[in-house]
Structure 1
Amino acid sequence: MSSIEALYIFDEHNTPLLEHTYTGRPPAGSTLLPLYLAQPAPRPSLIYLPYTNPPTLLYSIIQDQLLFLCPSSTDTEPLQVLEFLHRVVDVLEDFLGAPLIASKIEAHYDVVAQLLSEMVDGGIIASTEPNALKDVVEAPSVLKSLLGGVGLPSSTPSSLSSSATPFSLGGRASPRLGPSPSTQAGSAVPWRRANVRHTSNEMYVDIVETLSVTLSPSGRPLSAIANGTVAFTAKVSGVPDLLLQLGCPGGVGNAIALPVFHPCVRLQRWRDRPGELSFVPPDGRFVLAGYEVDLLGPAALDSFSTSTTASSAPKLNLPAIVSVQTGLGPQASDVEVRLTLNPRFKGKSSSPLPSSTSSSFSGRGGLGKGLGGAGFGGPAQGTTSAPSIEEMVVHIPLPAGIKNVVDLRVPRGAGEAGYAPGDRAIEWRISSREIGILMANDRGTGAGATTTLRGTVVGQDDDNELEGSAGSVSLSSNTYDYADDQISSSYQASSDSLEKPKGSNGNGGAKKAFSKQMKVLMPSCATVSFSVKGWLPSGIKVESLMLDQKRSKGLGSGVSPYKGVKYLCVSKRGVECRC
């Protein structure tokens, strides 16, 4: 069993915000922080400090520029301690709001201290579910802060006990502040609050997949992984019992690898019937499951070893791909980046928008408040039948020896490319409106819209080398003796060298050396970042979401919750093409 000895929180300036000791006598935060900062960046999440007394394992995570440190001097389970730190971040974001900043922790230190005390008891992890913690710790609010600032009781009237005696002039009786007896009893389900009530019953499913693809210079996929997250938002009264059915081509059991689940999921049901998630959800938004999908399939390795042609490689239906050509132009210093957009992802401009799922679900539209926030709603919303690409960014890393990139240009209506001397990359941004214009100009060829970016790379010493490669004349004061009959032959040899600059001697050798040096200054890859609404690269979709009326409690007969489903694919420099 892992023992949590202490928790230290520091702000972005390495100023201590909180020190909470659970058990033992761990080293102070002022001792551990210099030892942590002495490690070279990037610092690992687990550092062994042998020179402390006693020797200590230091666990750390960074969230919103806040540093969380947890020391341990005993044999512990590393993943459990790191998971505890992530749970602390999730709980603080749930109570204080995201993002976490130092002023929020300082303003609500009493709430943070109560939360940390409830999450760990004597060094043993006790309760880390936000729903369960809300039953014993009162979340801060603006009204309570105002009441406390003027000296009035900060608890609301509903928190008074029903058996409390009203105020009297004699002062003999006083109201009982804090949670009601029913709340103190807690819920039968550890991860769900007791006595949950909602005026409008709603359930939302948001499936988000992060794409990571690597392409060879020929366009052959080397690796393609999609990491998925199933986010669920439950705003249902009582204790609902739900069944979520997932499906994909080839079967969920064959596609999904390394699944992880929220504790509310009944694992035996998933083992017996892969794709079925039976659970009693927490109240509010939470992560129901996570998974990984290999988009190339199990036969990709065999195709790589048996065939070298690009046509035999597994095919990927990506929203956009990029290719880079280097060494162009008369001086071999030009770079061309070609972006190709898939015509399948044009989106749909007509209104009203169709539902993104089957007839058993309703489109989220403006009601969507699941993972992704307001980005899921709006008139440019994509659907499964017509997915739409949001803003796209092409990132071209540059070597350290580049001094500048001049004559950087893109076609009109194809976004903007930005670079400043000293930057280590070129950023090419294309808005969703410009993507729609490029798609419309495709003229139905089916090959996809294509646009290019071109620029000229200038190295640190390119000015002198450019002069030498242009055939600059140098005068010498040395004199040479030669016979008259050698004049014509020497003149003919010099004229031949001017007419054939690509020979082994003369200016041709300088140009060849110059082109070899330019290869060092050329970019080696380019990445594409985008988001696509209404499409998942794995093909996973929600088949059904059912509420078991017999096993559910407190919902009421005849109540049918509103259901909504959203799909989103995100690539943060995830599609990389090497050159």
Structure 2
Amino acid sequence: MSAIEALYIFDEQNDPLLEHIYAGRPPPGSTVLPLYLAHPSPRPSLIYFSQTNPPTLLYSIVQDNLLFLSPSSTDTEPLQVLEFLHRVADVLEDFLGSPLLASRIESSYDTVAQLLSEMVDGGIIASTEPNALRDVVEAPSFMRNLLGGVGLPSSTPSLTPSATPFSLTSRPSPRLGPTPINTSSPVPWRRANVRHTSNEMYVDIVETLQIIIAPSGRPLSAISNGTIAFTAKVSGVPDLLLQLGCPGGVSSTISLPVFHPSVRLNRWKERPGELSFVPPDGRFVLAGYEVDLLGPAALDSFSSSTKSNAAPKLNIPATASIRTSLGPTGAEFEVRITLNPRFSGKSSSPLSSVTGPSFPRAGGLGRGLGGSGFGGTQGTTAAPVIEEMTVDIPLPATVKNVRDLRISRGPGDAVYSPGDRNIEWRINSREIGILMSTDRGAGTGATATLRGTVVGQEEEDAIDGGGPVSLTNDPYDYNDDQSLLSYQALSEISSKRDDTGIGNDKRIKQNKVLMPSCATVSFKVKGWLASGIKVEGLNVDQKRSKGLGSGITPYKGVKYLCVSRKGVESRC
């Protein structure tokens, strides 16, 4: 049975970009698109349409606001089709550039058609590796498009004799550029005859945090998802060995690992933490993993018989705590940020930055070492630093306004617009450094506080005067004395009610539903990973490698980055 029957791509306005039929007679894109859009949002990746003839399963993904659809009338493996759609998007980005735009696809239809034909043969998935596709499909370029526009042949390798452009003369048309050599690589995911003047290898490990903290300060859940991105610019066919390590051991720390097809799984099973592989040429994702930061004994610590001091603790860069129902009427709230003094960007020892003789280490992503990533020389494994922190405070839908929003202690800029359901408190890297310096070596961590007063619909109407607003044609009908008297009378009545305590309990209960329920912290830290995983070695097996040359030692670099996109959530 055919796995892939057709591929449809639509732009941001759901206009068709291309339709590629592989096998059978699937329903056209003009038929499946209205059925897909008629499904209520959020739309799943797999939708069954029984009203089509024959009944159809529609697979879909969205990449860079482009919609990829693949109908199937037979029983196929869902993950296989979805993975194929993701591979198509990745291959198009590799050839056409990122982000993937509709204009780039429209200007390179010939390249896209060749890629789609090479990736699937008669409905069967054939080759989806970008390195292997570059041996048979040439990436589009400005000169190639220019020559094709004026009718001159380009350097695109002809797959069949019929692909030669039609000519009125019997003389064969001249070819520009070198004649392609039809040599295939022995490794399916690597291009043949790879040559680089400077041999370099880079390892970028990026982790994302997802942490939930209870009102008592006890962590309920703490998951870190990591991605190992590898960049290989090495000549020939190198055979590499990447060694990972962490304090508790790789086998007991990493769970749910996923690997690139180049990784030898038997080596990982025998020696967890060792990745033996022949890399593709360029940048690719080598592996992914998940780490439970609370450990396997986290569930036992939540039992009532366990002491509170035995609860798991997290050494994360920043946390937030919320206090609600403050003030005489319970309409005020307070959000406090606590920064970990370890992430001040200052090394505790002048020799702690030396990590070993094999290769140096640095902080964020980027090419090269020594702080060439996200700007600045700070952010190393010895001295990690927090950058661009943002605290988001979601509000209930019944909140109509927030008054007296102020930062009583600490730097930053808090923004709230009427009608929004979110307060955003931003603190840049410079302000974080100033706030860290206020700790003065106490080791308790710097803090910053944000306070505000929520206003509901009833109070908003009372402040506005209540009732409908009448308009008049007389521009002099406004009486300042009468308006001032009414405002003063309303204030006196409100103050008398507050002094006597009548109605305060009722207002406190009403304002409880207006309080925020949580606060999320976003940040990024260069030179630190929440899981504690580090690269202990990156070596080239000279015996198993081919074409590298004797005596050549590639340049090596490692960078770490931890990112929290609203990942640290503190509840109240």
TM over 0.5: yes
Instruction: Give the match's secondary structure for 2:564.
Output: strand
Structure 2: 5+ residue stretches without partners:
159-168, 467-489
How many residue pairs get aligned? The number is 537
Q: Which residue of 2 aligns with 1:532?
A: 525
Q: Which residue of 2 aligns with 1:116?
A: 116
1:73-472 superposed matches below 5 A: 73-155=73-155, 172-175=171-174, 180=179, 182=181, 184-307=182-305, 310-348=308-346, 357-363=355-361, 368-369=366-367, 376-411=373-408, 414-463=411-460
Instruction: Give the match's secondary structure for 2:35.
Output: helix
Instruction: Give the match's secondary structure for 2:114.
Output: helix
Instruction: Give the match's secondary structure for 2:424.
Output: strand
Q: Deviations over 1:270-312 (max 9, x none)?
A: 0000000000000000000000000000000011124465422
Q: Is the 8 A contact 2:155 2:175 kept in 1?
A: no
Q: Which residue of 1 aligns with 2:16?
A: 16
Shift of residue 145 of structure 1? 2.6
Q: Which residue of 2 aligns with 1:543?
A: 536
Q: Is the 8 A contact 1:357 1:565 kept in 2?
A: no
Instruction: Give the match's secondary structure for 2:302.
Output: helix
Q: Which residue of 2 aligns with 1:561?
A: 554
* 1:574 correspondence with 2:567: yes
Q: Which amino acid aligns with 1:233?
A: T
Instruction: Give the match's secondary structure for 2:300.
Output: helix
Shift of residue 143 of structure 1? 2.9
Q: Partners in 2 of 1:498 and 1:283 — Cα distance?
A: 75
Q: Partners in 2 of 1:456 and 1:11 — Cα distance?
A: 44
Q: Which amino acid aligns with 1:319?
A: P
Q: Partners in 2 of 1:8 and 1:308 — Cα distance?
A: 57
Cα 1:180–1:264 change in 2 (3 A) is farther
Cα 1:567–1:241 change in 2 (3 A) is same
Q: Deviations over 1:219-267 (max 9, x none)?
A: 1000000001010000000000000000001110110000000000000
Cα 1:575–1:85 change in 2 (3 A) is same
TM-score, with structure 2 as normaliser = 0.88
Q: Partners in 2 of 1:154 and 1:392 — Cα distance?
A: 50
Q: Is the 8 A contact 2:364 2:526 kept in 1?
A: no
The alignment-based identity, stated in percent, is 74
Q: Which amino acid aligns with 2:566?
A: R
Q: Which amino acid aligns with 1:137?
A: V
Supply the RMSD in Å over aligned alpha carbons. 2.9
Q: Deviations over 1:8-59 (max 9, x none)?
A: 1111111111111111111111111111111111111111111111111111
Q: Which amino acid aligns with 1:389?
A: I
Q: Partners in 1 of 2:55 and 2:356 — Cα distance?
A: 58
Cα 1:288–1:326 change in 2 (3 A) is same
Q: Partners in 2 of 1:222 and 1:421 — Cα distance?
A: 33
Q: Is the 8 A contact 2:153 2:174 kept in 1?
A: no
Q: Partners in 2 of 1:463 and 1:194 — Cα distance?
A: 70
Instruction: Give the match's secondary structure for 2:25.
Output: coil
Cα 1:380–1:515 change in 2 (3 A) is farther
Q: Is the 8 A contact 1:136 1:179 kept in 2?
A: no
Q: Which amino acid aligns with 2:253?
A: A
Q: Which residue of 2 aligns with 1:488?
A: none
Cα 1:409–1:37 change in 2 (3 A) is same
Q: Partners in 2 of 1:302 and 1:29 — Cα distance?
A: 54
Q: Which residue of 1 aligns with 2:60?
A: 60
Q: Partners in 1 of 2:372 and 2:35 — Cα distance?
A: 42
Structure 1: 5+ residue stretches without partners:
160-169, 475-496
Q: Is the 8 A contact 2:334 2:452 kept in 1?
A: yes
Q: Partners in 1 of 2:94 and 2:213 — Cα distance?
A: 39
Cα 1:358–1:150 change in 2 (3 A) is farther
Larger gyration radius, structure 1 or structure 2: 1
Instruction: Give the match's secondary structure for 1:390.
Output: strand
Q: Is the 8 A contact 1:365 1:378 kept in 2?
A: no
Shift of residue 460 of structure 1? 1.3
Q: Deviations over 1:388-416 (max 9, x none)?
A: 11101101111111111111111576111
Q: Partners in 2 of 1:130 and 1:500 — Cα distance?
A: 74
Q: Deviations over 1:310-356 (max 9, x none)?
A: 42210100000001111111221111110111000011499x99968
Q: Which amino acid aligns with 1:569?
A: C
Q: Which amino acid aligns with 1:514?
A: R
Q: Is the 8 A contact 1:219 1:310 kept in 2?
A: no
Q: Is the 8 A contact 2:363 2:381 kept in 1?
A: no
Q: Which residue of 1 aligns with 2:500?
A: 501
Cα 1:330–1:24 change in 2 (3 A) is same
Q: Is the 8 A contact 1:391 1:431 kept in 2?
A: yes
Q: Partners in 2 of 1:349 and 1:154 — Cα distance?
A: 56
Instruction: Give the match's secondary structure for 1:453.
Output: strand
Cα 1:463–1:308 change in 2 (3 A) is farther
Q: Partners in 2 of 1:398 and 1:517 — Cα distance?
A: 15
Shift of residue 358 of structure 1? 3.0
Instruction: Give the match's secondary structure for 1:542.
Output: strand
